C-alpha cells in the first residue's frame, strides 16, 4: 500500500500541540514502516489553515 504522509502544526493553539512537525513525521514514518506502507509524498503545514482548505481525510494512493 502507498500513502501520503501529512503533518500539521497549528500556530493558533500551542497548548494542544503535543508534537512538533518533525516529531509527527518521525512517528508516522515509523508506523508506515511497521505496517509496510510506502510513503510516496510528505506534506507539512505550519500555519493555520482556513476551514475550506483543510484536508478532511487521509489520502491514499494505490
The reported pTM is: 0.63
CB atoms within 10 A of CB 7: 19
Answer yes or no: is 61 within a domain.
no
The pLDDT score that the predictor gives to residue 61 is: 56
To which H or E segment does residue 34 belong?
helix 21-34
The pLDDT score that the predictor gives to residue 33 is: 97
The pLDDT score that the predictor gives to residue 38 is: 98
Distance CA 43, CA 51 (A): 18
The SS3 assignment for 16 reads helix
The pLDDT score that the predictor gives to residue 19 is: 78
Answer yes or no: is 62 within a domain.
no
Torsion of CA 5, 22, 26, 10, to 10 degrees: -50
Rounded average pLDDT per 10-residue block, the chain, 62 residues: 91 66 94 98 77 51 53
Answer yes or no: is 45 within a domain.
yes
The pLDDT score that the predictor gives to residue 52 is: 47
Give the number of domains in the chain.
1
Are the C-beta atoms of 12 and 51 separated by less than 8 Å? Answer: no
Amino acid at each position: 500500500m502507498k500513502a501520503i504522509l501529512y503533518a500539521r502544526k497549528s500556530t493558533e493553539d500551542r497548548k494542544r500541540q503535543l508534537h512538533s512537525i518533525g516529531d509527527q513525521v518521525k512517528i508516522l514514518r515509523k508506523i508506515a514502516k511497521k505496517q509496510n506502507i510506502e510513503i510516496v509524498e510528505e506534506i507539512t503545514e505550519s500555519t493555520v489553515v482556513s476551514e475550506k482548505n483543510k484536508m478532511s481525510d487521509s489520502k491514499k494512493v494505490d
